[in-house]
Amino acid sequence: MPGCSTGEEAYSLAIVFKEVLEASPATARFALQIFATDLDRDAIEKARQGVFPGNIAADVSPERLRRFFTKETHGYRVRQEIREMVIFAPQNLIRDPPFTKLDLLSCRNLLIYLAPEVQKKLMPLFHYSLCPGGLLFLGSAETIGTAFDLFVPLGGKSRLFRRSESSVRPEPVEFPSAFAAGPVASTEAHPTPGPAGSLQSLADQLILQRYAPSAVLANAQGDILYISGRTGKYLEPAAGKANWNLFAMAREGLRYELAGAFQKALRQPDSVALHGLSVTTNGGELSVEVTLQRLEEPGPLHGLVMIVFTDVAPPVTPPVTGRLPSTHAHNARRAELEQELLRVRAEARATHEEMQTAQEELRSANEELQSTNEELQSTNEELTTSKEEMQSLNEELQTVNTELQAKVDELSRASNDMKNLLDSTDIATLFLDRDLRVRRFTTQATQIINLIPGDVGRAITDLVSVLDYPTLAEDAREVLRTLAAKEQPAPARDGRWFTVRIMPYRTHDDRIDGVVITFVDNTSARKLEARLRATQAGLEQRIADQSARRKRRGQKSEVRSQRSEVRGRGTEDKGQ
């Protein structure tokens, strides 16, 4: 799946395939692996985490949220069984090698951002990546272009195409894909005459056309690059596929002599001349002299060979009359045969020299090939060693991956345990870093401070709280400075009371990395304390009242006693 971005489509396909596999019969279980790639490495890292915001609940059904996602503080995380089905890797679709033996290739809404020539190059690559009968899945605004011989549409409005096996494209698939179009070399030069600027230029053109000898310009392999004049008397197109090679186009009488002279002209700086050649043309023979010269001029002409054809008069043969003796004709024939024998010997000598040169070149090439073969063998051994090292490294990576996966599972369990522990205490807890920015919080803390998952990373001073505790941030800084826990009662604006405890956050290596703030609701204790105080005050008032009454009763008894005593004394006086 190229262009997977942050993994939404990859996980969606994994969930759909998981549901289909679960609904299939027990005898039809299949192994499923999804390869998702993207050019952006940051997007790949985010996709591997499998964490998505809480607003996905609007697009994902509650049943799938329950089965395939885990609710977290910051949103939803894809369950491990789904994450294990998807492998994310960075890949440049244009330059990197493709994944092969795929049953389904989903490339939705990616081709529309590529140029048409790039799309044309990608289609054979997609065809190569798929297994026989594999499917290509494109976006609603994408097509396969001109690759109708590679893919067959499945019909309907779906953008599904099946890999075709009926045709074979002549051009090979490029690995890696290269889209820089090189210059197209032309096998024939077509000189365009410039505008007639003056009488001199017209005269020069006329002289070149009518009086200058015919000539061709060829490279070291004999391929004709430029033709000047009328060369049809000396060169003719060969039958079959068009071939602009000098030796294939040479007429009878020029072919073998021209080949030897051409090789000789390449080896020496001087020109090579061929005299007295008889060229067979349509309806007769033509005497020709050929001059070959290797060009030493710097620039584009350097190393090319100029071949000039010049018509010469045929050798004059004295007329044969009846009065000449028969020996004269015999001697002329003998001289002609001797001259032809000398020419054949010269050609044989030249051929022998060429064969020796070719043998030396072949011997040198054989030595180079042997050296190259040894280097390839050495390289093959190095590659074999590298392969073994890569296999060993792969095994080590698999072991490390297994250990890391176990660590991840352990951390996940520890995180779940901590979350359940904090939730079971029913205590509002807030974790802050050294800059007093929110790191983590429990659900109960949201009832005291207006917190949402997006507030992670915000400063505590930027958040609204129901507590009447304006010095919370200063007290937290004081705890960070003194490393001494601080406890403070704080009222809430809705009548509740909380005990705020601020403690330093210590890591395993005894390093202070922030503070932990707990909010314990003691409203009930406060109300009970107020009632107890009211009851105590009432009791104390009743005791005071009783004491006062008792005191008044005592005073009255004392008065009565004094009155009785006075009355007794009066009676005694009267009796005396």
Tell me: the pLDDT tens digits for 219-243? Answer: 988 889 888 888 888 888 877 777 8
pLDDT value of residue 315: 64
Q: Find the DSSP H helices in 298-439.
A: 326-425
User: What is the DSSP annotation of 34-91?
Assistant: EEEEES-HHHHHHHHHTEE-GGGGGTS-HHHHHHHEEEETTEEEE-HHHHTTEEEEE-
Phi, psi of 546 (to 5 degrees): -60, -40
Residue 169 pLDDT > 80: no
Reported confidence tier of residue 570, pLDDT bands at 50, 70, 90: low
Cβ contact 521:501 at 8 Å: no
At 201 the three-state DSSP class reads helix
Highest-scoring range by mean pLDDT, 252-256, 396-400, 422-426: 396-400
Tokens 């008044």 locate to 552
Contact 445, 465 (CB under 8 A): no
> Residue 182 above 60 pLDDT?
no
Q: State yes or no: pLDDT of 350 exceeds 70.
A: yes
The set of residues, in sequence order, having a beta carbon less than 8 Å from that of 295 and lying 6+ positions away, is 301, 302, 303, 304, 305, 306
Position 348 confidence tier, pLDDT thresholds 50, 70, 90: confident
Mean pLDDT of 333-349: 75
Lowest mean pLDDT among 249-258, 308-317, 356-365, 408-417: 308-317
Q: Give the H or E element holding residue 227.
A: strand 224-228
Neighbours of 370 (CB within 10 A): 10
Whole-angstrom distance, CA of residue 381 vs CA of residue 395? 21
At 186 the pLDDT is 37
How far is it, in rounded angstroms, from Cα 270 to Cα 212? Answer: 22
* pLDDT of residue 128 exceeding 80: yes
Phi, psi at 185, each rounded to 5°: -80, 135
Query: Pick from 235, 259, 262: which is nearest to 249 by CA?
Result: 235
pLDDT confidence band for 173 (50 / 70 / 90): low
* Distances, alpha carbon 446 to alpha carbons 75, 130, 433, in Å: 16, 52, 18
Do 218 and 244 touch, CB atoms closer than 8 A? no
pLDDT at 190 over 50: no
Segments in 426-486 forming alpha helices (H): 472-482
Res. 193: pLDDT tops 60: no
For residue 30, give both structure tokens.
């299949």
Helix (H, G, I), strand (E, B) or coil at 29: coil
Distance CA 385, CA 23 (A): 47
Rounded to the nearest 10 degrees, what angle do helices 326-425 and 255-267 cross at?
A: 60
Mean pLDDT of the residues in the chain: 82
Q: Which range, 192-196, 439-443, 548-552, has the best average confidence (pLDDT)? A: 439-443
Residues 476, 437: Cα–Cα separation, whole Å: 11
The greatest distance separating any two alpha carbons of the chain, rounded to the nearest whole angstrom, comes to: 234
Phi, psi of 274, rounded to the nearest 5 degrees: -115, 125
8-state DSSP, 508: T
Mode of pairing for the β-strands spanning 272-281 and 34-38:
unpaired
Mean pLDDT of 192-201: 55
Tell me the pLDDT tens digit for each residue of 466-511.
Answer: 888 888 889 999 999 998 999 988 898 888 888 899 999 988 888 8
Q: Is 513 helix (H, G, I), strand (E, B) or coil?
A: strand
- How many whole angstroms separate alpha carbon 151 and alpha carbon 144? 8
User: How many residues in the chain?
Assistant: 576
Instruction: Identify the residue with better confidence: 40 or 205.
Output: 40
| H or E element at residue 517 | strand 512-521
- What are 141-153's pLDDT values in tens digits? 888 888 888 888 8
- 433 vs 339, higher pLDDT: 433
* Cα angle, residue 95 at apex, residues 89 and 99 outer, rounded to 5°: 45
**Phi-psi map region of 198: left, alpha, beta (phi>0 left; psi -120 to 50 alpha):** beta
Q: Which of 188-192, 214-218, 505-509 has the lowest mean pLDDT?
A: 188-192
What domains are there in the chain, each with its CATH number?
8-163 (3.40.50.150), 199-316+336-354 (3.30.450.20), 422-521 (3.30.450.20)
User: Is 425's pLDDT higher than 80?
Assistant: no
38-65 b/e (C-beta count within 10 Å ≥ 16 → b): bbeeebbebbbebbbeeeeeeeeeeeee
Looking at the DSSP assignment, which residues form a beta bridge with residue 516? 431, 503
Give residue-wise pLDDT tens across range 67-104.
999 988 888 999 988 988 899 888 888 888 788 889 99
SS3 307: strand
- Would you call 234 helix, strand, or coil by DSSP? coil
Strands, sheet with 160-163, edge to edge from the N-terminal-most edge strand:
102-107, 130-138, 160-163, 151-153
Q: What angle do CA 217, 222, 227 make, to 5 degrees?
A: 25
Please name the residue ranges forming H helices in 255-325.
Answer: 255-267
Mean pLDDT of 381-396: 86
Q: What percentage of residues in the chain have a pLDDT greater than 90?
A: 13
Cβ contact 134:160 at 8 Å? no
C-alpha span between 422 and 199 (Å, rounded): 103
Mean pLDDT is lowest, of 97-106, 333-342, 455-464, 522-531, for 333-342
pLDDT exceeds 80 at position 346? no
pLDDT at position 63: 92
